[in-house]
């Protein structure tokens, strides 16, 4: 358990594979920092910062934000006190330059390298169904699904009463673009990169959330 709290993990997988769902639960159970570049960008969008306004145009179309901007954001985030004991990176890296930049950020010391890279394997057809039915709580960030994980009352978070939103990039055209980029830019190059480093593990992400969670708990020991 104590080793698990020192994990520095990367969750890799297509849009809707369940990375955020699992990273959120694991970080709450084992006190990891859950670092989601998507959530960080959405928070900038909500605050209407310059970065958020720039990112929104790309995100709404399902396009990637520049490597430079993302790497700078992650560099600051992993230096924060809550990340000292371990973290799960959710949605980063997703290009080869981002993966190389992460290794550089962590430095040459073996004791600070990425310890686990988990690839969430799942078919595109399942991802499309998950994304089109996903609803996110605008207040606490909880992740729901109209069919797989519905709330008691439509449009209202069971946990905090916040309003549920349907992400702009969870619409059909943006989903197609995200899937295309995932296959062309993320999956192949990063699978090879981390396989060569000997840290890659795969999970079958087309099972229940509970079964996947239990497997991740074992895998991250
Ligand atoms: P980001 O927020 O990272 O989106 P993503 O990678 O496309 O991943 P998602 O958040 O859509 O899916 P997830 O795998 O977390 O699935 P979830 O757990 O929610 O990025 C958004 C945008 O920001 C990008 O498009 C880009 O523009 C920009 N960006 C972010 N990072 C970037 C980077 N590094 N470089 C450049 N640009 C970047 O689950 C999905 C649904 O399925 C939910 O409804 C959930 O309840 C349900 N579900 C989950 N698990 C299961 C299960 N086992 N069975 C049934 N249903 C399930």
Q: What is the pLDDT along the chain (221 residues), one digit of tens a residue?
A: 345 557 899 999 999 999 999 999 999 888 889 999 999 999 999 999 999 999 999 999 999 999 999 999 999 999 999 998 899 999 999 999 999 999 999 985 566 789 999 999 999 999 999 999 999 999 999 999 999 999 999 999 999 999 999 999 999 999 999 999 999 999 999 999 999 999 999 999 999 999 999 999 999 87
Contact of 100 with 197, CB cutoff 8 Å? no
- Ligand 1 close to Cβ of residue 14 (< 6 A): no
Distance 13 CA to ligand 1 centre (A): 8
The set of residues, in sequence order, having a beta carbon less than 8 Å from that of 41 and lying 6+ positions away, is 51, 52, 55, 59, 65, 73
Degrees, nearest 5: CA angle 154-91-168: 40
Contact of 201 with 217, CB cutoff 8 Å? no
198: left (phi over 0), alpha (psi -120 to 50) or beta: left
Give yes or no: 110 in active site.
no
Give yes or no: 94 in active site.
yes
25, 130, 134, 135: the active-site residue: 134
Q: How many CB atoms lie within 10 A of CB 61?
A: 13
Distance 221 CA to ligand 1 centre (A): 24
The preferred substitution site among 37, 62, 101, 216 for testing ligand 1, maximizing ligand atoms within 8 Å of CB, is 37
Q: Does domain 4-123+180-219 have CATH number 3.40.50.720?
A: no
pLDDT digits (tens, 9 = 90+) for 82-132: 998 899 999 999 999 999 999 999 985 566 789 999 999 999 999 999 999
CA 204 from chain center: how many Å? 16
Q: How far apart are CA 78 and CA 96, in angstroms?
A: 19
> Could you tell me the residue ranges of all domains in the chain?
4-123+180-219
Strand partners, 201: 118
pTM for this predicted structure: 0.93
DSSP 81: G
Query: 14: exposed, middle or buried (C-beta count within 10 Å: 0-12, 13-18, 19+)?
Result: buried
- Ligand 1 close to Cβ of residue 145 (< 6 A): yes
């Amino acid at each position: 358990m104590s080793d698990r709290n020192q994990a520095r993990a990367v969750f890799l997988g297509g849009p809707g594979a369940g990375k955020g769902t699992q990273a959120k639960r694991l970080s709450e159970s084992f006190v990891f920092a859950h670092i989601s570049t998507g959530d960080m960008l959405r928070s900038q969008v909500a605050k209407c910062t310059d970065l958020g306004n720039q990112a929104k145009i790309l995100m709404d179309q399902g396009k990637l934000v520049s490597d430079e901007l993302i790497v700078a954001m992650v560099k600051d985030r992993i230096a924060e006190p809550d990340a000292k004991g371990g973290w799960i990176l959710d949605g980063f890296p997703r290009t080869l330059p981002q993966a190389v930049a992460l290794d550089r950020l962590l430095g040459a010391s073996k004791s600070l390298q990425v310890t686990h890279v988990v690839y969430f394997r799942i078919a595109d057809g399942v991802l499309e169904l998950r994304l089109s039915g996903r609803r996110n709580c605008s207040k606490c960030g909880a992740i729901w699904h109209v069919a797989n994980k519905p709330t008691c009352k439509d449009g209202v978070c069971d946990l905090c009463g916040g309003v549920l939103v349907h992400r702009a990039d969870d619409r059909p055209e943006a989903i197609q673009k995200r899937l295309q980029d995932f296959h062309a830019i993320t999956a192949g190059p990063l699978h090879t990169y981390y396989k060569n480093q000997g840290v890659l593990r795969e999970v079958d992400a087309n099972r229940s959330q509970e079964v996947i969670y239990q497997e991740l708990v074992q895998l991250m020991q």
